[in-house]
């Protein structure tokens, strides 16, 4: 499924849904120049066998090749807790720079302590560019800008590219509400404030979310508008109050088990999507801290 726009300031957006992690990856194209950005790409990981693969990322590259595009950016909205980032793989294949929010340094500090990596460089050097609130960039002739959107994580940002905004896990589709705010460093009140900033964008702004869990068994969806979210989002539609939202979010999050890949993925994603270096036997290993997330609900 994809959305194509040809008018100025309205980039073409192609969404790629990964049914394993319920994630949505994007190729965002300036149609005047054929330059594009890849947003939130997934590196495949099968936790039972420890196998990795590049099927999702290769599908993005196939789309780029099919349409004769040039990749100008590889963008992550935050360090993901439920899948590995394919940013480094795609950088190696395309030569495009990687970027994330500068606030990732706070997440690196927190998680490198949990993993007991005393020598880990928690300064964001793993990416080519760190974006702060208000920073701008270009995809061809289309301008993008950055909103700081904390709450789901300390590092979450939104990319506003032309008339489209990539809101990661801050907002889901209107029938699904909002993302959880109970990860280390998360905060429901900050999430509310981030949502309000997004909903202050023009009503016609297209909103693209990072996940869809298909409530009631419907087909995957990932595009809405600011107007639609304000009218019918089950958590934050007009008339909802901040206090009611914070209470709802905190109560709901207390009942949710942690994502099954949170301890696997964060040690990859705070490295910018780089897998651990091979050890002397040539194998790579993940490090899983025990009892690092006290109070999390059990499945």
Beta strands of 58-148 (E only): which ranges?
70-75, 84-85, 98-101, 129-131, 136-139, 142-148
Over the stretch 168-220, which tens digit does the pLDDT of each residue have? 899 999 999 999 999 999 999 999 999 999 999 999 999 999 999 999 999 99
Q: How many CB atoms lie within 10 A of CB 291?
A: 5
| Domain-wise residue ranges, the chain | 8-261
**Quick one: pLDDT at residue 1?**
46
Q: Which of 135, 236, 239 is nearest to 194 (CA)?
A: 236
**Quick one: pLDDT at residue 7?**
57
In this prediction, residue 9 has a pLDDT band, given cuts at 50, 70 and 90, of: confident
Tell the residue number behind the tokens 């800008």, with chain if given.
Answer: 145
pLDDT score of 4 more than 70: no
Segment 256-282 mean pLDDT: 97
**Quick one: pLDDT at residue 299?**
82
Over the stretch 85-116, which tens digit does the pLDDT of each residue have? 999 999 999 999 999 999 999 999 999 999 99
Q: Global pTM?
A: 0.95
CA distances from 253 to 21, 134, 175, 234 (A): 19, 30, 17, 15
DSSP 134-189: T-EEEETTEEEEEEE--SSSSS-EEEEETTEEEEETTB--TTT-B----STT--HH
**Quick one: pLDDT at residue 154?**
95
Q: How many residues does the chain have?
A: 299
Q: Which fold has domain 8-261?
A: Metallo-beta-lactamase; Chain A (3.60.15)
pLDDT score of 5 more than 70: no
Per DSSP, the three-state class of 14 is: strand
């Amino acid at each position: 499924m994809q959305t194509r726009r040809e008018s100025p300031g309205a980039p073409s957006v192609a969404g790629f849904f990964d049914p394993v992690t319920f994630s949505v990856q994007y190729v965002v194209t300036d149609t005047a120049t054929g330059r594009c950005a890849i947003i939130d790409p997934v590196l495949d990981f099968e936790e039972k066998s420890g196998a990795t693969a590049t099927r999702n990322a290769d599908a993005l590259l196939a789309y780029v090749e099919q349409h004769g595009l040039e990749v100008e950016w590889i963008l992550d909205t935050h360090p993901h807790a439920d899948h590995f980032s394919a940013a480094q793989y795609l950088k190696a294949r395309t030569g495009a720079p990687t970027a994330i929010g500068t606030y990732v340094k706070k997440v690196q500090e927190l998680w490198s302590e949990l993993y007991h990596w005393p020598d880990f460089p928690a300064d964001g050097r793993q990416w080519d560019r760190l974006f702060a609130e208000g920073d701008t960039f270009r995809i061809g002739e289309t301008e993008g800008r950055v909103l700081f959107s904390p709450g789901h994580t300390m590092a979450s940002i939104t990319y506003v590219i032309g008339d489209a905004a990539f809101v990661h896990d801050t907002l889901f589709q209107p029938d699904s509400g909002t993302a959880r705010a109970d990860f280390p460093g998360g905060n429901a009140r900050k999430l509310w404030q981030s949502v309000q900033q997004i909903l202050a964008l023009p009503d016609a702004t297209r909103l693209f979310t990072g996940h869809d869990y298909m409530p009631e068994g419907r087909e995957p969806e990932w595009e809405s508008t600011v107007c639609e979210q304000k009218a019918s989002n089950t958590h934050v539609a007009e008339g909802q109050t901040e206090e009611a939202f914070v209470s709802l979010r905190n109560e709901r999050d207390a009942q949710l088990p942690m994502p099954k890949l949170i301890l696997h993925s964060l040690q990859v994603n705070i490295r910018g999507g780089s897998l651990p270096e091979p050890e002397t036997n040539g194998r790579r290993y993940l490090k899983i801290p025990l009892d690092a997330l006290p109070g999390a609900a059990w499945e």
